[in-house]
Amino acid sequence: MIECNGRELELDVLRVFCGPGGTGGNPLGVVRDGPAVPDRAARAALAAELGFSETVFLDDETRGTVDIHTPSVRLPFAGHPLVGLAWLLRSLGRPPRMLRPPAGDVPVTVEEELTWVRGRAEWVPDRRTEQYASVAEVDALPAPPPGEGWLYAWAWQDEAAGVVRARAFPRRGDGIVEDEATGAAALLLTHELGRALDVRQGVGSQILTRPYPDGTIEVGGRVRVDTP
């Protein structure tokens, strides 16, 4: 439970895009009772207080309407909040077929332990991808690297198999020095490379992607409840 504007709210904390053995995963805060925090400024303040890479507010479960915040900005689309929320609702016996962030309608599918959401590259907030010559170069980067603006640093780990090593640096000045797993950035990279990817990010996360002929791209992964 957390307190916001003098009232208690239930908060679910998940790890999204975990590795096959449950490693890694980007922490996510989920406020299932979004209408209890109707004011956008209050949502921004709560997301900043919680300090997760993203916090998602579920505004209308029937329609799948959601609102996504980092500690400093509101996002039209993001992969790990949507995958995490879809998994959570399914675990509660209420699997969504569609989620609706501000960017548009996001179909949801489930295949065994993987939860998938489908979006478009043009929905991804401004960020830059940069290819490095080797996995070792990506691993050696300081956190964050010098410079400004959102950076997705990557290298081929196994190009033939589509396996990528990546690290993500928001460089927004809001306390998130490095994102453990970023679905939107993986979606953007998939669009740029034009092929399905198996992204190994952070200290132990895995993000899977697959493009479709209509220009949409699915992003999928495993989700776990984050336990102290």
CA dihedral 192, 57, 29, 51 (to 10 degrees): 80
3 state SS of 2: strand
The pTM assigned to this predicted structure is: 0.96
Q: Residue 5: what pLDDT?
A: 62
> Which residues partner with 3 through β-bridges?
8
> CB–CB of 149/127 below 8 Å?
yes
**Does 14 lie in the same domain as 101?**
yes
Same domain? For 96 and 183 the reply is no
d(C-alpha 5, C-alpha 9), whole Å: 10
**pLDDT by residue (tens digit) across 90-106?**
999 999 999 999 999 99
d(CA 99, CA 62): 10
| CA end-to-end distance (rounded Å), the chain | 14
Question: Rounded distance, CA 209 to CA 60, Å?
Answer: 27
Q: For residue 182, what is the domain's CATH number?
A: 3.10.310.10
Q: Give per-residue burial for 98-110: e unless 16+ CB within 10 Å, then b.
A: ebbbebeebebee
Rounded mean pLDDT of 122-147? 96
Residue 218 lies in a domain: yes
Residue 25 lies in a domain: yes
Adjacent-strand bridge partners of 100: 65
Average pLDDT over residues 9-23: 95
User: Does 218 share its domain with 149?
Assistant: yes
Token reading at 73: 């900005």
* Burial per residue of 118-142, b for 16 or more beta-carbon CB atoms within 10 angstroms, e otherwise: bbbbebbbebebeebeebeebeeee
- If asked whether residues 129 and 54 sit together in one domain, one would say no
Residues 73, 34 within the same domain: yes
- In this structure, the answer to whether residues 98 and 131 fall within a common structural domain is no
Task: Quote the percentage of the chain above a pLDDT of 90.
Answer: 93
Report which secondary-structure segment, H or E, holds 213.
none
Residue 68 pLDDT > 90? yes
Which range of residues forms the domain containing residue 143? 123-224
Task: Summarize the confidence of residues 54-59 as an average pLDDT.
Answer: 98
Q: For residue range 146-191, what is the model confidence (pLDDT) as tens digits?
A: 999 999 999 999 999 999 999 999 999 998 999 999 999 999 999 9
For residue 215, pLDDT over 90 is answered with: yes
Collapse the DSSP code of 33 into the 3-class scheme (helix H, G, I; strand E, B; otherwise coil) and give the result: coil
Contacts of 144 (CB under 8 A, 6+ apart): 151, 169, 170, 171, 177, 178
What per-residue confidence (pLDDT) applies to 124? 97
**DSSP track, 92-137:** TT---SEEB-TT--EEEEEETTEEEEEE-GGGSPS-EEEE-S-HHH
